[in-house]
Amino acid sequence: MIEFLNESILWWHWIIFGIILLILDMTLATFFILGLGAAAVIVGVVDLLVMTTFTQELSIWMMLAILIIAGWFKWFRQKPLTQSGQSNYRLDTLGTVTETIEPHSRGKVTFDTPVLGNTTWHATSKIALEANTRVQIVQINGQLIEVEPHHTTV
C-alpha cells in the first residue's frame, strides 16, 4: 500500500489538496483549515524540490499543520482592543453619589463617563456615603457596582 502511495501521490497532488483546503477555509472562515491547506501547499513545494516518500510527506504535513495552527492561535488571532466586558473594566472610574449608600445596601451613583453603556448605576459600599460624595469603582459584580470614596491628592 505504501509503495502505491509513494508512486501515485505526486507533488502537485499536495498543492491541489492545499488549494482546495484554502478555498474551503475561505467559505467556512474557520482559520483552522487554513493551517492544513498552507501546510499541504508547503509539502507540495518541498516534494517538488526534494524527492520524499509519502510517509515523510505525511509527517511533514502533520508537523507543519500543528505549527501553523498553534502559531495562528498564539500570534495572529485577534486580541481584544479594549477591556470592555473584562472584570477590571473601568475600575477607578469617578462618579458622584446621587442616592445615599448605607453600608452593604444599595444606593445610586452617576459616573462621569459611561460604564458598560450607562452613566447611572446601583452601587454598594462598605461604608456609608452621603449624596454628592465623589466615589470611584472598586469592583463590578454583574449589575451592581461597588464603590469607595475618591481621595484626591494635591
- For residue 23, the model assigns a pLDDT of 95
Residues 62 and 98 in one domain: no
CB 129 within 8 A of CB 146: no
Does 41 map to a domain? yes
- Pair (62, 116) in one structural domain: no
Domain assignment of residue 85, yes or no? no
- For residue 86, being part of any structural domain is answered with no
* Domain tally, the chain: 2
Judge if 30 and 59 occupy the same domain: yes
Inside any domain, residue 87: no
Tell me how far apart the alpha carbons of residues 41 and 48 are, in angstroms, rounded to a whole number.
11
Share of the chain above pLDDT 70, in %: 89
Q: Which residue has the higher pLDDT, 4 or 153?
A: 4
Report residue 20 CA to chain centroid gap: 28
Q: What is the 3-state secondary structure (H, E, C) of 5-45?
A: HHHHCCHHHHHHHHHHHHHHHHHHCCCHHHHHHHHHHHHHH
72 and 105 both lie in a single domain: no
pLDDT band at 154; cut points 50, 70, 90: low
Confidence of residue 117 (pLDDT cuts 50, 70, 90): confident
This prediction has a pTM of 0.52
Domain with 120, as residue range(s), is: 94-149
Q: Which three cell numbers stand for residue 13?
A: 497532488
* pLDDT digits 0-9 by tens, 37-95: 999 999 999 999 998 999 999 999 999 999 998 888 887 766 655 555 555 566 778 99
Tell me whether residue 70 is in a domain: yes
